[in-house]
């Protein structure tokens, strides 16, 4: 089980791979769509990669609730618990 800092770092790597953004830009308070300019197709790829990396399941209906990086980190941390 990863702590929230490890989840953030792992998520930042996934976002960087998918979008070309610098991992330093992926911060807890950043919005996936507004701040990081991630479209729905890229978001689904990020979710799939995060599920594999962190061994969690993120239901499709929950993805829309993950508006910020912090939301995703919190969800993954809770799903691992």
By annotation, the residues acting in catalysis are 39
DSSP letters spanning 3-63: -HHHHHHHHHHHHHHHH---GGG--TT-BTTTTT---HHHHHHHHHHHHHHHT----HHHH
């Amino acid at each position: 089980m990863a702590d929230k800092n490890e989840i953030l770092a792992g998520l930042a790597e996934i976002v960087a791979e998918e979008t070309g953004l610098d991992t330093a830009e992926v911060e807890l308070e950043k919005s996936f769509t507004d701040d990081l300019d991630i479209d729905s197709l890229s978001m689904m790829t990020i979710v799939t990669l995060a599920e594999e990396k962190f061994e969690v399941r993120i239901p499709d209906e929950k993805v829309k609730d993950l508006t910020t990086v912090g939301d995703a980190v919190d969800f993954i941390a809770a799903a691992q618990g």
